[in-house]
Amino acid sequence: MIDVVIVRYGELALKSAGVRNRYEKTLVRNIAAMLKSRAISYSNISREWGRIFIHTADQNASRAAADVFGVVSASHAIISDATIESAASTCASVADGFVKDGESFAIRARRSGNHSFSSHELAVKCGDAVWHMLESKGIAPSVDLSNPDKEILVEMRQNKAYIFTETSDGVGGLPIGTQGKMVSLVSGGIDSPVATWLLMKRGVEIIPVYCNNEPYSDERARQRTMDCIAQLQKWCPGHPFKIYEVPNGANLKMFIDGCERKKTCVLCKRTMYRIAFEIMKIEGASGVITGSSLGQVASQTSENMYAEISGLSVPLYHPLIGLDKTEIIDIARRIGTYDISIQPAGSCLAVPIHPEVKAKHDSLTKEEEDLDIEGLVRYSISNAKVSKSE
């Protein structure tokens, strides 16, 4: 039996009172949206200083709340009066059937507010109540404060006490919707969905942009990307994505036919940045997110990454820049995009056999002099397919 889910947050507590209040309200809305998306019923969501409470008996509510950006942890709890006697009695009730014969237990207690007893006294009183209850059931009690088999936790606040036995670790970060909007260049690979998720975790609303390379890629690549975007959307119900699917195949053909072949990928990246920047301005966003990780592929050497942005005024964010592939894969598994990203989709056929790894910015700008780059970008934007995620 549970009465409520206690939701705890971290960074929000460091904000000024006004900002904190605004962020808390956003967090409450996001929690409500997550509960709705998982068909979890609740009577209401209330706030106290430092805590949010979901009033529900649904056993799935704690995990749902923990998956909301900004939440550090969540616990199903039973409510008691804010007295040491009531908390002790409730702990004994919780322990009945929870602590088995031969198992050790420990009470972990903490307080906030003004009380006539200390946290230690609260823990001792609750421990005594559990001890005597177990003895009355013919169970030989055993206390182990270092490594108990079972823990009962007590959080005593000013007006209520909350007793619980488990805590779901939260995703952390900041509530999505508190840090503006950014465009994210998303493909169906492993990296870009992870980069997108990491900025979502920092409170950013996302505008996914997929540069469709057909005929140099196939429908499988497109579908894999859309499936990744759909999985990312599950992390932020209440903030539906506005998705741009931009044709990029004609741009690639122009680079292949009219430029030094090994420069195709770096010229493509510069063009994608320009496209993303134009969409950023259209949407009133404030940045462009990439999945670049330094040195991971040919286009992501330090020389290439410098050349790709030379002369461009695009505010780029590279959240994966210092992560290795193993770290990125670990996050992809955690957020549910890895199994999607490893589905077969074929490679981009525009990639040269020997791609440029040490591009010079002046050589790229010279290549672009003979191309109508602005016209290519305008064409891609004007022929973009725009859709809303569900």
pLDDT tens-digit map of 143-188: 999 999 999 999 999 999 999 999 999 999 999 999 999 999 999 9
Question: Could you report the per-residue pLDDT of 198-222, keeping only the tens digit for each?
Answer: 999 999 999 999 999 999 999 999 9
Give span(s): CATH 3.30.2130.30, the chain.
4-169
Segment 229-237 shows an average pLDDT of 97
What percent of the chain clears pLDDT 90, i.e. is strictly above it?
Answer: 91
Residue range(s) in the chain whose domain bears CATH number 3.40.50.620: 181-388
Burial class (CB in 10 A: 0-12, 13-18, 19+), 133: buried
- Please state the rounded mean pLDDT for residues 246-258: 96
**Ramachandran area for residue 50 (φ above 0: left; ψ -120 to 50: alpha; else beta):** left
Q: Is the pLDDT of residue 1 over 70?
A: no
Query: What is 4-169's CATH topology?
Result: VC0802-like (3.30.2130)
pLDDT of residue 297: 82
Percent of the chain with pLDDT over 70: 99
Rounded to an integer, the average pLDDT of 119-139 is 96
Q: Rounded to an integer, what distance in angstroms lies between the CA atom of residue 259 and that of residue 276? A: 22
Could you read off the pLDDT of 317-347 as tens digits, one per residue?
A: 999 999 999 999 999 999 999 999 999 988 8
Q: Which amino acid is at 103?
A: E
CATH number for the segment(s) 181-388: 3.40.50.620
For the question of whether the overall pTM of this predicted structure is more than 0.85, the answer is yes
Write the burial class of residue 11 (CB in 10 Å: 0-12 exposed, 13-18 middle, 19+ buried): middle
Q: What is the pLDDT of residue 49?
A: 85
